[in-house]
């Protein structure tokens, strides 16, 4: 298969998924609704409030969604003249083009370091990476986040050290932080790594420019403190800590009934507190719970990493295609009869495809391990390729799903192609 055929097939697949959203049923996730509220409130109230302004005010909504994606949505609302159909058409069109460009950068890197790879294998990889097509056609920031990840990887692997290179990496990192709070800790890790690897060829200006994301995170936290009274990059960290990290751990340890009781008790104790005191109390309570059950939490965290790597994306399919689903596996897999619940979720017409993608994800993982131990690539090169996937997966936590892995698909494609032998060999 030549490269032109590869792009025609991939572009057609993106177009089919986009047309489904425009012409059949425009699926919106809960997160999508929040992003749209944030965009509308920026226009109408000059506030990054990610929920209905007419409902009871909750400061959590002021900082839950970072600013960049709502601002992107505002831009598309303006150029579509507030026409809803045109708005969705334009945003989905641009996101699909970004998706294709992300894959283009991945193939460009593969061409550089493993020329002559099989285009059919690349197409096989993308045909089974269906979440790429799904999230390119959701009101979600994942495809934009993916662009920052593959952009940073491209700079790391192809550009010689220079002030411009580290400036661009810093700017891409700031963009990623402005899309997803999970990237925020990387702002500190990035200059630390530069400091550790500092040598005669590393100029002090490189390190100084790497501090830009740190200053951005600090300033953002100060702005949020002025808006809510609590210095925090995003309220989603506290929300996740209480309703996901701690709750899943408690379910695994005590069962659903007691887990609900403990979480409800924490929330009950915060009644009457200021927002700052409430956030601080919840965070301290959850950290103590996790500390008291550290072995269980560690197991669940590691299991979440595995789930993110192999999850076939049942949630993505059911939401995008508006299919009925009877259970929430994120929670039910932490209850009794876990294996039975998982098996039951495959007992439907979608099940065969999910099993196929699950097997592909296992194969993808095996190929990544194979690449890690291939002698034709240096360890510094392999560490650079794996740097972003390891970071994201390490922060995944107990609720790992395919959605967490989705921004890594172009890097995973690169790893897969680098692990394969060229056609000429």
Mean pLDDT per 10-residue interval, the chain, length 425 residues = 96 98 96 98 96 95 97 98 95 98 98 93 97 98 98 96 95 98 96 84 87 98 96 96 95 93 97 97 97 96 94 92 67 54 64 92 97 94 96 92 95 97 68
Query: What is the reported pTM?
Result: 0.94
Q: What is the C-alpha to C-alpha distance for residues 88 and 79, in angstroms, rounded to an integer?
A: 11
Q: To which residue do tokens 């032109």 refer?
A: 4
Q: What is the C-alpha to C-alpha distance for residues 326 and 345, in angstroms, rounded to an integer?
A: 8
* 421 DSSP assignment: P
* 273 DSSP assignment: -
How many residues does this entry show for the chain?
A: 425
Q: What is the C-alpha to C-alpha distance for residues 300 and 297, in angstroms, rounded to an integer?
A: 5
18 in Cβ contact with 93 (< 8 Å) = yes
364's tokens: 């993808």
The helix or strand, by DSSP H or E, that contains position 107, with its residue range, turns out to be: helix 84-113
Q: What is the C-alpha to C-alpha distance for residues 169 and 218, in angstroms, rounded to an integer?
A: 18
Considering only CA atoms, give the Rg of the chain.
Answer: 22
263 in Cβ contact with 285 (< 8 Å) = no
| Residue 305, C-beta contacts closer than 8 angstroms, at least 6 positions apart | 393, 394, 396, 400
149 in Cβ contact with 407 (< 8 Å) = yes
Residue 28, burial from CB neighbour count under 10 angstroms (0-12, 13-18, 19+): middle
The whole-number pLDDT of residue 371 equals 96
Residue 91, burial from CB neighbour count under 10 angstroms (0-12, 13-18, 19+): buried
Q: Give φ, ψ of 184 to 5 degrees.
A: -55, -45
The whole-number pLDDT of residue 203 equals 83
396's tokens: 């995944």
138 in Cβ contact with 32 (< 8 Å) = yes
* 243 DSSP assignment: I
241 in Cβ contact with 249 (< 8 Å) = no
Dihedral sign for Cα atoms in the order 213, 415, 391, 338? positive
3-class DSSP string for 13-75: HHHHHHHHHHHHCCCCCHHHHHHHHHHHHHHHHCCCCCCCCCCCCCCHHHHCCCCHHHHHHHH
The whole-number pLDDT of residue 106 equals 98
215 in Cβ contact with 209 (< 8 Å) = no
The helix or strand, by DSSP H or E, that contains position 324, with its residue range, turns out to be: none
174 in Cβ contact with 213 (< 8 Å) = yes
The whole-number pLDDT of residue 425 equals 45
Q: Give the three-class secondary structure for 140.
A: coil
């Amino acid at each position: 298969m030549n490269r032109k055929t590869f792009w025609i097939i991939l572009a057609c697949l993106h177009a089919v998924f986009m047309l489904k959203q425009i012409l059949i049923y425009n699926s919106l996730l809960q997160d999508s609704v929040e992003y749209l509220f944030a965009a509308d409130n920026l226009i109408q109230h000059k506030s990054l409030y990610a929920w209905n302004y007419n409902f009871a005010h909750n400061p959590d909504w002021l900082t839950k969604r970072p600013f960049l994606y709502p601002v992107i949505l505002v831009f598309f609302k303006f150029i579509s003249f507030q026409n809803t159909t045109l708005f969705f058409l334009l945003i989905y069109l641009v996101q699909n083009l970004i998706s294709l460009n992300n894959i283009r950068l991945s193939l460009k890197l593969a061409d550089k370091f493993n020329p002559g790879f099989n285009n059919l294998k690349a197409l096989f990889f993308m045909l089974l990476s269906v979440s790429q097509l799904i999230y390119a056609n959701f009101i979600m920031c994942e495809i934009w986040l993916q662009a920052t990840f593959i952009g940073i990887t491209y700079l790391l692997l192809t550009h010689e050290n220079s002030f411009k290179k580290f400036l661009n990496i810093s700017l891409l990192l700031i963009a990623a932080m402005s899309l997803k709070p999970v990237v925020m800790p990387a702002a500190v890790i990035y200059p630390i790594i530069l400091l550790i690897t500092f040598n005669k060829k590393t100029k002090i200006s490189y390190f100084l420019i790497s501090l830009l994301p740190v200053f951005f995170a600090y300033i953002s936290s100060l702005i949020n403190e002025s808006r809510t009274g609590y210095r925090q990059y995003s309220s989603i960290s506290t929300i996740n800590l209480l309703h996901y990290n701690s709750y899943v751990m408690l379910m695994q340890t005590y069962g659903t009934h007691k887990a609900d009781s403990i979480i409800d008790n924490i929330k009950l104790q915060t009644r009457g507190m200021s927002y700052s005191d409430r956030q601080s109390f919840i965070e301290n309570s959850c950290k103590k719970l996790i500390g008291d059950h550290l072995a269980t939490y560690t197991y669940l965290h590691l299991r979440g990493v595995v789930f993110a790597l192999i999850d076939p994306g049942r949630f993505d399919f059911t939401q995008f295609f508006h299919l009925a689903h009877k259970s929430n596996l994120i929670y039910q897999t932490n209850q009794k009869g876990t294996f039975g619940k998982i098996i039951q979720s495959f007992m439907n017409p979608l099940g065969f495809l999910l099993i196929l993608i699950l097997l592909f994800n296992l194969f993808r993982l095996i190929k990544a391990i194979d690449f890690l131990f291939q002698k034709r690539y240096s360890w510094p090169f392999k560490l650079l390729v794996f740097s972003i996937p390891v970071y994201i997966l390490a922060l995944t936590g107990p609720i790992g799903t395919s959605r967490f892995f989705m921004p890594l698909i172009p890097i995973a494609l690169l790893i897969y192609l680098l692990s394969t032998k060229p056609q000429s060999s």
